[in-house]
Chain A
């Protein structure tokens, strides 16, 4: 099941979604897409698991992605 790993002070928490063509799945996908957009708008970056490893990713949300991860913004000092 595709998922987003949200890194936070709890270690991380996970949002998953179905990819079936149902109202519930569409709602889950809408939430996932919104979370990624909101996080990016707040300065986070996103990694996507590709070929077994995570790489930072600027692409549009893909509901078929295996796994995304929201990466904390960084600051010096």
Chain B
């Protein structure tokens, strides 16, 4: 009952009592992560934490992509997503890597550099972020175009692990 009382106060903008605090769920948008080294989840993470996080990430990435796309990713090591904005352009997505921009013969590349660097703003297992990036490229290409940092070569992403 106390939980509901606290929830009601919180929903009405009352004293800063946060019912999420007791749920044991980490909401990463509530924290700052700039201080973390690249490809790290934080100093409190043990090797077992990494292993468990990657296992959970794999499970949800598979469910997010769906069986057909997941199988395609496992078979060929990447997923191609055709651009809706630039005819003849395809985005090639690999787990934990920059996006490769591929053009059909005769098509002028939209960027001078062939790779796009896009990271999550908080640390995530790389397969989890791969599924996010797939949704962004497929459903929000305009946002991808706006934030992408073109790069001359491929490289591992810095905010995933």
Contacts and interface: CB of A to CB of B under 8 A. Distances in A.
Do A and B actually bind?
A: yes
Given A7-B124, A47-B135, A74-B118, A12 B60 contact: yes
Tell me what chain B mostly uses at the interface: helix, strand, loop, or mixed. helix
B139 to A, nearest CB: 4
B2 to A, nearest CB: 12
Interface residues of B, number: 53
Interface stretch (B21-29, B84-92, B100-108): B21-29
B147 A54 contact: no
Nearest to A28: B7
Interface in B90-127: 116-125
B121 A8 contact: no
A60 interface: no
Given A6-B25, A13-B26, A72 B121 contact: yes
A10 B59 CA distance: 12
B1 to A, nearest CB: 9
Contact of A9 (B20, B42, B131, B133): B42
Interface of A: 5-13, 15, 23-24, 27, 30-31, 34-35, 38-39, 42-45, 47, 52-56, 69, 71-77
Given A10-B26, A10-B53, 5 more contacts: A7-B132, A8-B28, A11-B59, A11-B128, A39-B27
